[in-house]
Amino acid sequence: MPELPEVETVRLDLIKHLIGAQIDVVKIIDLKNITPSAIFLLDFLPGQEISSVRRKGKLLIIDLKNSDYHLLFHLKMTGQLIFTNKKIKIAGGHSLDEGSSYKAVGGELPNKHTRAYFLFTNGARLFFNDLRKFAYIKLVNRDELTEILLNNYGPEPLTPEFNLPYFKSILKNRKRVIKALILDQKLIAGLGNIYADESLFLAGIKPWKEGKALKSIEVEKLIVAINELIAEAIKYRGTTFRNYVDAEGKKGNFTTFLKVYGREGQACFNCGAKILKIKLVGRGTHYCANCQK
DNA sequence: GTGTTTGTTATCAA
DNA sequence: CTTGATAACAAACA
């Protein structure tokens, strides 16, 4: 599941290669979550130059030079953005021979999960893969982007806006369980199911505790846990639990540092008790009954 | 065939 | 208006 650290890893990979790159050809293979229409994008994008790659929470934002437009990518659960500048022989002009490809995690590219791809004038290629068809590509103008960011995304971990007074303000008087609150992108942008479970374990808090029931010391522990966890996960290039890969097709290295997610039935690293798993707010939820109060 | 996986949104309720 | 709870979606896999 690409959460903030995984999308950030993809972003850091992409800026190494895509800044200044000019789009040559766009191929849309099978993508229903694309706006405006695929036909419009096929016409609009060629010739556009990429000026920067940004991110808000799990949303990747590609800015186009001398343009009021921004290309948004959301990977949802199984989306991948895989870049390559390996040279391959392309028969006759610009278009990539569908049969030609090179090896990457998940098979040759393009493969059966490739929903769209971009060819750049310098020979680089960017593949948009998605096993399920949840992920989206969206082209928006500046005002639409501002509105999207304002309406859907709160402050991110590791930013000045995500401070203790803010965190306390969004938890007090809240009846929702703490896991639901920290998963809410409007309150904190970037946490998904893995890092929500992990941060609550690190802070020693039961996932189903009501927001308003958290003691001051618990709120302090949790904000530290979230920030440290996200920083470490970025440092290790994210977590691959199912099919996440970075923009070079490589897996994340933080997986081995997980304390509770995916460890049901195994011994807690802290106390040795069995890690338990329940369903909470519709999500698989992992915790240690002994360490989380 | 059944249940499970999760990010996000729609819908409904209070 | 705010807040919260839940279903729905997608496709593969055990």
Residue, of A214 and A101, whose pLDDT is higher: A214
Check residue A242 and give its pLDDT: 81
Q: Please name the residue whose C-alpha is nearest to the C1' of nucleotide B6.
A: A77
Q: Whole-number mean pLDDT of chain A?
A: 89
Render pLDDT for A217-229 as a digit per residue (tens, 0 to 9). 999 999 999 999 9
Q: How many helices and strands in chain A, by DSSP H and E?
A: 7, 11
Mean pLDDT lowest among A35-39, A122-126, A152-156:
A35-39
pLDDT for A243 beyond 90: no
A8 a catalytic residue: no
Per-residue model confidence as pLDDT tens digits over A73-129: 999 988 999 998 764 433 333 334 333 344 344 557 888 888 999 999 998 999 999
Instruction: Give me the residues near strand C, CB below 7 A.
Output: A 77, 131-134, 174-177, 180, 211, 281-282
Residues 6+ apart with CB under 8 A from A103: none
**Residue whose Cα is closest to the C1' of C10:** A132
Whether the per-residue pLDDT at A131 is higher than 50: the answer is: yes
- A58 counts as catalytic: yes
* A2 classed as catalytic: yes
> Which nucleotides in chain C have some atom under 7 angstroms from a protein Cβ?
3-12
Q: Which of A55, A58, A115, A237 is catalytic?
A: A58
Catalytic status, residue A3: yes
Judge if the beta carbon of A59 is closer than 7 A to nucleic acid strand B. Answer: yes
Predicted TM-score (pTM) of this structure: 0.91
The residue annotated as part of the active site, out of A3, A6, A156, A198, is A3
The pLDDT assigned to A236 comes to 95
Q: Percent of chain A having pLDDT more than 70?
A: 92
- If you measure CA to C1', which residue is closest to nucleotide B7? A76
Query: Strand B: which residues 70-109 of A lie within 7 A (CB)?
Result: 74, 76-77
pLDDT of residue A107: 56
Interatomic distance A186 CA / C7 C1' (Å): 20
The stretch A155-167 carries a mean pLDDT of 95
**pLDDT per position as a tens digit, A180-212:** 999 999 999 999 999 999 999 999 999 999 999
